[in-house]
């Protein structure tokens, strides 16, 4: 796990902006602080241990209200796809997002996917998902289009 040191001469600045920015942008394993004396006088030292390869901390992403993003017709298709996804997830014993995410379903509707190749073009939708669920998705999209 990587370490990073932050040193501040005493009295330390009240904000510690660089330390706070670093903490906000990394996955943190531990933080400790120490008083140290050096050639320039007393210092406040923070030792920050980050999770290797962690990048940003996982945080809650802002939820998207697809009723606001999609028009009424597209939202009806999106809702039907969510029902199909839920049935597939229950049958497989996996969470719904493991079948397709809401963002993927919305993109299927917005792009008017008509073929398995169209589905494969959506980010995160691979060949295995298309082979397992693609036919049902396309059938639902085609059926909704004629209703």
Q: Which parts of 1-147 fold into alpha helices (H)? A: 17-25, 66-69, 72-92, 96-99, 102-110, 116-120, 127-146
Which residues, in sequence order, are bridge partners of residue 28? 50
Contact call for residues 110 and 71 (beta carbons, < 8 A): no
Range of the domain at 89: 66-146
Q: Is 129 part of any domain?
A: yes
pLDDT of residue 54: 56
Does an H or E element contain 58, and which?
none
Residues 79 and 128 in one domain: yes
pLDDT of residue 85: 94
List, run by run, the mean pLDDT of 10-residue segments along the chain (147 residues).
Answer: 86 83 86 89 91 60 83 93 94 92 94 93 91 92 64
Q: Is 57 part of any domain?
A: no
Q: What's the structural domain count of the chain?
A: 2
Cα separation, 143 vs 129, in Å, equals 20
Spatial neighbors of 100 by CB under 8 A, at least 6 apart, are 81, 85, 108, 125, 129, 133, 137
Q: Is 92 part of any domain?
A: yes
Residues 75 and 35 in one domain: no
pLDDT of residue 1: 66
In this prediction the pTM is: 0.57
């Amino acid at each position: 796990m990587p370490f990073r040191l932050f040193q501040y001469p005493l009295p330390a600045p009240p904000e510690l902006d660089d330390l706070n920015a670093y903490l906000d942008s990394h996955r943190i394993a531990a933080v400790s602080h120490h008083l140290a004396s050096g050639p320039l006088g007393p210092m406040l030292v923070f030792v920050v241990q980050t999770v290797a390869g962690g990048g940003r901390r996982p945080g809650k992403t802002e939820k998207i209200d697809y009723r606001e993003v999609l028009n009424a017709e597209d939202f009806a298709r999106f809702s039907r796809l969510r029902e199909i996804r839920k049935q597939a997830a229950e049958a497989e014993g996996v969470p719904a997002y493991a079948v397709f995410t809401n963002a993927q379903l919305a993109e299927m509707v917005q792009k008017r996917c008509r073929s398995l190749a169209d589905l494969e073009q959506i980010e995160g939708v691979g060949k295995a998902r298309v082979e397992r669920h693609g036919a049902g998705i396309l059938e639902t999209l085609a059926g909704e289009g004629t209703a």
